[in-house]
Amino acid sequence: MKDGENEHGNAQSPSVPNVTTRTEFDFIDQLRQRATLQAHSSQTIQLLKLGIGDDAAVVHSSAVKDTVIATDLLIEGIDFRRNTAPANLLGHKALAVSLSDIAAMGARPRWSLISLGVPDDVWQSSFANDFYEGLFHLAGQYDVQLIGGDTSRTPEQIVIDSIVIGECPIDRAIERSGAQPGDQIFVTGALGGAAGGLRLIERGAHLADQNFSANETQALDHLLLRHLQPEPRIGWGMVLGQERLANSMIDISDGLSSDLNHICLESRVGALIHSSLLPIDVQVVELCGRRALDPLQLALHGGEDFELLFTVRPDAVAKLPRRVDGVGITHIGEIRDGSEGVKISEGTRVWELQPGGWKHF
Ligand code: ADP
Ligand code: MG
């Protein structure tokens, strides 16, 4: 939407929140309804398998394959700060966040389009060279090819738009909407590291920070890199998709609490997770715990871990591999009936797990 336009279209109903009270999710829902209504009359609807509302869109491309498309925006001052995010790591992250959405569909990433808007002083610096150094390095790791983009000047801030196109065998994309009561909930890797790293950066920590003791330096770098250089779980995504092991999946970009709520909302189910099972990053427990940052809160609500959160039918649990690309998984709870809501247990206490992650608006 451009400045001066607004979204008051024919598709609005009286229950739609007004401009001042709506959240990012209300806004996306409105777009989703409007896009669905508009496409009904055209042939494009026949090619579209999944539109707005998941980690990526899925379109029919051949008798054997579907095409999967995701896009992400990184804005200076909101998603990163120029003085704390080295340009090569920013290039890595710009691609990684979209690769993660492709992984969350169980698909294989193939092509990338990157658009870059930078102010003049950044253009005169080594920023763009360093940015693409990091980006090409990650692209090479997963055999992803840069096939296009756009370059422009901005008045002040760096703006990055990253699109990734992937593929999966026909009808194998894993949507957010496939979870059913009785499914077991799993997460790859560890949680809370990216949010812990961000909090420490906000308090002035740097990579290989000399102000920390030798033992802490490695642990600190690990946490900072969880925020600055996330690793998309491509291998796990493809295994879960191709072998039909997961029936719903999302990547943890907003935070476990928000992203689990997205799965439950789309699948019309409830969930119960057990706090004692959560794989909280050990460095979060060590470093953040000592600095009055609550590890459980970081693991539940901290965003940008880019781990995969997925559900598995009880009879498929035994078929799950233990590790893929050296990354393990953890069972954290189970899907319940929708009437039970989304809950977390700690010992004998059970409470509602409100989505507490990152919201733009
Ligand atoms: P993710 O965190 O997985 O990147 P988002 O929360 O950004 O997902 O987006 C959720 C869904 O809403 C996706 O299908 C995305 O394509 C769609 N979406 C977000 N913003 C817009 C927009 N401005 N116009 C159309 N679709 C949008
Ligand atoms: Mg996502």
pLDDT one-digit tens code per residue, 20-30: 778 888 999 99
pTM for the predicted model, two decimal places: 0.92
Residue 151 Cα, ligand 1 centroid: separation in angstroms? Answer: 22
The model's confidence at residue 5, banded by pLDDT at 50, 70 and 90, is very low
155 in the same domain as 80 = yes
Query: What's the pLDDT score for residue 9?
Result: 37
Query: Whose CA is closest to atom 23 on ligand 1?
Result: 28
- pLDDT tens sequence across 342-360: 999 999 999 999 998 666 7
Q: Which of 27, 29, 49, 52 to mutate to test the pocket of ligand 1 (most atoms within 8 A of CB)?
A: 52
196 in the same domain as 109 = no
Query: What's the pLDDT score for residue 2?
Result: 34
Query: What's the pLDDT score for residue 8?
Result: 38
Q: Which two tokens stand for residue 173?
A: 């994309």
Does residue 291 sit within a domain?
Answer: yes
* Residue scoring higher pLDDT (36 or 301): 301
Residue 34 Cα, ligand 1 centroid: separation in angstroms? Answer: 14
- Give the sheet arrangement for strand 48-50, strand by strand: 48-50, 57-60, 65-75, 159-169, 108-118, 145-153
Cβ–ligand 1 distance for 31 under 6 Å, the answer yes
- pLDDT tens sequence across 96-122: 999 999 999 999 999 999 999 999 999
254 in the same domain as 128 = no
| Cβ count within 10 A of residue 296 | 17
Tell which residue, 216, 200, 202, 188, has the closest CA to residue 295.
Answer: 200
Kindly tell me if the per-residue pLDDT of 165 is higher than 60: yes
Residue 53 Cα, ligand 1 centroid: separation in angstroms? Answer: 6
Kindly tell me if the per-residue pLDDT of 191 is higher than 50: yes
The rounded distance, in Å, linking the Cα atoms of 59 and 72 is 18
Query: Whose CA is closest to atom 7 on ligand 1?
Result: 72
Residue 269 Cα, ligand 1 centroid: separation in angstroms? Answer: 21
Task: Give per-residue burial for 152-189: e unless 16+ CB within 10 Å, then b.
Answer: eebeeebbbbbbbbbbbeeebbbbbbbbeeebbbbbbb
Tell which residue, 70, 56, 103, has the closest CA to residue 235.
Answer: 103
**DSSP summary character for residue 55:** S
Kindly tell me if the per-residue pLDDT of 212 is higher than 80: no
Kindly tell me if the per-residue pLDDT of 220 is higher than 50: yes
Domain of 103?
Answer: 56-169
Query: What's the pLDDT score for residue 43?
Result: 72
What is the average pLDDT value for the chain, to the nearest integer?
91
**DSSP summary character for residue 109:** E
94 in the same domain as 196 = no
Cβ–ligand 1 distance for 55 under 6 Å, the answer yes
190 in the same domain as 68 = no
320 in the same domain as 195 = yes
Residue 133: give its domain's CATH number.
3.30.1330.10
Radius of gyration (C-alpha) of the chain in whole angstroms: 20
CB-based contacts of 309: which residues, under 8 Å, 6+ apart?
A: 185, 186, 187, 249, 250, 251, 252, 256, 259, 260, 263
Residue 311 Cα, ligand 1 centroid: separation in angstroms? Answer: 21
Say which residue the tokens 């969930």 belong to.
271
Residue 28 Cα, ligand 1 centroid: separation in angstroms? Answer: 7
Amino acid (1-letter code) at residue 130? D
Averaged pLDDT for residues 181-197: 97
Does residue 19 sit within a domain?
Answer: no
**Ligand 1 closest atom vs CA 259:** 2
Contact criterion met (CB below 8 Å) for 72 and 97: yes
Number of domains in the chain: 2
Say which range, 38-47, 113-122, 266-275, 311-320, has the weakest mean pLDDT: 38-47
Averaged pLDDT for residues 26-46: 82
Averaged pLDDT for residues 63-76: 97
Q: Which ligand is nearest to the CA of 58?
A: 1
- pLDDT tens sequence across 9-20: 334 444 556 777
216 in the same domain as 259 = yes
Kindly tell me if the per-residue pLDDT of 64 is higher than 80: yes
Tell which residue, 247, 262, 238, 307, has the closest CA to residue 52.
Answer: 262
Query: Whose CA is closest to atom 11 on ligand 1?
Result: 53
CA terminus-to-terminus distance, the chain: 15
Residue 249: give its domain's CATH number.
3.90.650.10
DSSP 258-322: HHHHHHHHHHT-EEEEEGGG--B-HHIIIIIGGGT--HHHHHHH------EEEEE-GGGGGGS-S
- pLDDT tens sequence across 132-157: 999 999 999 999 999 999 999 999 99
Say which range, 35-44, 96-105, 222-231, 245-254, has the weakest mean pLDDT: 35-44
182 in the same domain as 158 = no
Q: Which ligand is nearest to the CA of 252?
A: 2
Q: Of 169, 203, 230, which closes a domain?
A: 169
Residue 31 Cα, ligand 1 centroid: separation in angstroms? Answer: 10
Kindly tell me if the per-residue pLDDT of 288 is higher than 90: no
Q: Which of 1, 7, 28 to mutate to test the pocket of ligand 1 (most atoms within 8 A of CB)?
A: 28
**Ligand 1 closest atom vs CA 55:** 3
302 in the same domain as 229 = yes
Query: What's the pLDDT score for residue 154?
Result: 98
Cβ–ligand 1 distance for 79 under 6 Å, the answer no
Query: What's the pLDDT score for residue 4?
Result: 34
Averaged pLDDT for residues 28-36: 90
Does residue 314 sit within a domain?
Answer: yes
Cβ–ligand 1 distance for 161 under 6 Å, the answer no
- pLDDT tens sequence across 318-335: 999 999 999 999 999 999
The rounded distance, in Å, linking the Cα atoms of 322 and 335 is 21
Q: Of 149, 169, 189, which closes a domain?
A: 169
Does residue 18 sit within a domain?
Answer: no
Cβ–ligand 1 distance for 101 under 6 Å, the answer yes
Q: Of 147, 169, 191, which closes a domain?
A: 169
Cβ–ligand 1 distance for 52 under 6 Å, the answer yes
Does residue 84 sit within a domain?
Answer: yes
The model's confidence at residue 37, banded by pLDDT at 50, 70 and 90, is confident
* Residue scoring higher pLDDT (40 or 87): 87
Query: What's the pLDDT score for residue 108?
Result: 98
Does residue 39 sit within a domain?
Answer: no
Kindly tell me if the per-residue pLDDT of 3 is higher than 80: no
Query: What's the pLDDT score for residue 24?
Result: 87
Query: Whose CA is closest to atom 3 on ligand 1?
Result: 55
Tell which residue, 14, 23, 7, has the closest CA to residue 360.
Answer: 23
Query: What's the pLDDT score for residue 357?
Result: 66
Does residue 38 sit within a domain?
Answer: no
Residue 121 Cα, ligand 1 centroid: separation in angstroms? Answer: 31
CB-based contacts of 274: which residues, under 8 Å, 6+ apart?
A: 332, 333, 344, 345
Residue 102 Cα, ligand 2 centroid: separation in angstroms? Answer: 8
Query: What's the pLDDT score for residue 10?
Result: 39
